[in-house]
Amino acid sequence: MRAVIQRVREAAVAIAGREHARIAHGLLVLVAAEVDDSPDDVAWLSGKVARLRIFADDAGKMNRAVSDIAGEVLVVSQFTLFASTEQGNRPSFLRAARPEQAVPLYEAFVARLSAELGKAVQTGVFAADMQVSLLNDGPVTISIDSRRRE
């Protein structure tokens, strides 16, 4: 699985012009499943996101996780994180898991992240045409890949 995590002051998802989800200070997590991903990838990635220390402590160092600051989390599915432009200018998405595999992995990621944080996370809607708005804080943006364990 692959995730792009953004530290945000706020973030929201709208679908068909209607707000679906909104968070205040916390994390916007764009996540995608790869063809060969498994529950092990879900467990590793959700734990990494939950414990990612990208919020400032009293000394101004990035040393706090989202739970340490009572922050919120918004998770949005985004298969385009596995886009390949190796051959030409039109992206290929062959590495992205098909919906029948990706939906259960996405739902498991959301459930596991919520359990790790001890509270519900907000979500987009899988495969919906979403408009995502955010106010990036920092900006701080981190990419994580469960295959590479980084």
Please say if 93 is a catalytic residue.
Answer: no
Closest-CA residue to 72 (of 142, 119, 135):
119
| 6, 78, 122, 123: the active-site residue | 78
> Do 28 and 74 meet the contact criterion of CB atoms below 8 Å apart?
yes
Q: Rounded distance, CA 32 to CA 111, Å?
A: 15
Please say if 55 is a catalytic residue.
Answer: no
Please say if 79 is a catalytic residue.
Answer: yes
| 6, 55, 79, 122: the active-site residue | 79
Q: How deeply is 81 buried, as exposed, middle or buried, from its count of CB atoms within 10 A (0-12, 13-18, 19+)?
A: buried
- List, by residue number, the catalytic residues: 78-80
